[in-house]
Amino acid sequence: MTNKEELVTNEDNEVYEKKVLTEEDIAKHIIDTLAVNDKEGFREEFFQNHSFDQAQIYLNLTVEQRCKVHDFLTPEELSEVYDIIDEEDEEQIFTFLFDMDDAYAANLLSYMYTDNAVDILNELSLDQVRIYMRLMSKESADDIKTLMNYADETAGAIMTTEFVSIKANQTVKSAMTLLRAKANSAETIYYLYVVDDDNRLVGVLSLRDLIISQGNEMIYDLMSDRIVFVDVKEDQNNVAKTIKDYDFLAIPVVEETGELIGIVTVDDIIDVIDDEAMQDYSGLAGVDVDNQYESPLKSAKSRLPWLITLLFLGMGTSTLISQFEGMIAQVAILSVFITLITGTAGNAGTQSLAVAVRRLANPDDEDQGFVSMVMREIVTGLLSGAITGIVIFAVIGFWQQNFALGLVIGIAMLAAITVANLAGSLIPLLMDRLGFDPAVASGPFITTLSDLTSVLIYFSIAAYFMPYLQ
């Protein structure tokens, strides 16, 4: 929230001081108007703020204060606040709807942009959705039903139906008249989409080109017929990539027949990118980081499956080490470097996993085939492992005055890093090829798997060099 200046006057109404209002001051002024039931004062103070700041103020109100806001603002006015509330706050606002009269909440949802209203309704119970839909106008309810029928994470699920389309055989003057009539309800007007009599997309025209053109010019003479669009069933990640590649503010969405049914705006794509980044990070961490405000009981419940699974994998590593008890008894110094080998290999595997997930998120970045990519990872692992192995060979050789031990550690480091590097890149790629979520190949899983293979490699090499270590 931006700070504002307040003019402080004396008894003669002369300004003698400019006081800078902080976020807390502004919020306090607004809350004070609620406390004294000053409707006009509240509306004046509230609407002086940016819609984002209005949303932050609203989110921090008590139930009693929010109920007063619902009395002071119309559903249409409050819908602008709900439209701008971030996705991470959506779970909180589901409960806010129940503080309202059902008719008020239904009207609020109908005034919201359709895609935003659908996001909220998708989280409510079916019975509650039916109540709201019955109380809405038929037009709003039909628009919402249409979007709710599209599969999740597709262009249809994230598009909005509030856009401006014009006809190719219109003049600029008539198009401007239409734009003025529809601009207030449209989510964006930077692009005007040109359709034929069957509502099929045939061209696109920027607002700038429309404004600078003469009133008697025809739209078909001004529009561009080289259109970039997405199918309604297109995956949202592909939509995001198209918008990023072409630097669009919005992109049209069409049915198989070419009929224009909606647009996806850049603000919706930012939400998609945030969601995908959160899913990738959750996969790397092996925990749903989006549920950061859950109760300790729920947090523990969501983390336990991974921890128990990794526990059994870790027991496999412990069991493997126990098979080499005799070797460790003969050369006890070998036990000192177990964590060094496993830790370094685990770090290498996690690095490779991060690169692989990034590559899967941007498939066009791959300029070579699957086999050549695997070979690249093997060479990367060999180079990293060789340099790390040489360094540790020298360090242990001089530190322990035992270059045979240094050689064992160095070779084990080379092999363990190479294997971990290959696993970190290959496992998520294989999962993606098999149709599974690559995020399942989480950092903890790769690390634990690297521990198992690293221990096996380490003691296998040590067994070969045992005559030189004793």
Domains of the chain: 4-158 (1.25.60.10), 165-273 (3.10.580.10), 296-469 (1.10.357.20)
In the chain, DSSP finds a helix count (H) and a strand count (E) of: 23, 8
Of 132-136, 307-311, 319-323, 461-465, least confident by mean pLDDT is 307-311
Give the separation between CA 285 and CA 447, rounded to whole angstroms: 11
Mean pLDDT of 182-195: 88
Q: Which sign, positive or negative, has the C-alpha torsion 425, 430, 435, 441?
A: negative
The 10s digit of each residue's pLDDT in 117-172 is 888 888 888 899 999 999 998 888 988 888 888 888 899 988 988 899 999 999 99
Residue 71 has pLDDT above 60, yes or no: yes
pTM of the model: 0.62
Instruction: Specify the higher pLDDT residue, 159 or 296.
Output: 159
Instruction: Specify the higher pLDDT residue, 301 or 85.
Output: 85
Strand partners, 251: 264
If pLDDT is split at 50, 70 and 90, which confidence band does 15 have? very low
Q: What is the pLDDT of residue 7?
A: 46
Residue 293 has pLDDT above 60, yes or no: no
Of 58-72, 183-197, 347-361, least confident by mean pLDDT is 347-361
Comparing CA positions, the residue from 371, 453, 391, 394 lying closest to residue 418 is 453
User: Who's near 15: CB < 8 A, 6+ residues apart?
Assistant: 7, 8, 9
User: Who's near 37: CB < 8 A, 6+ residues apart?
Assistant: 68
Give the separation between CA 207 and CA 216, rounded to whole angstroms: 16
Mean pLDDT of 165-194: 90
Mean pLDDT of 190-194: 91
Instruction: Specify the higher pLDDT residue, 395 or 1.
Output: 395
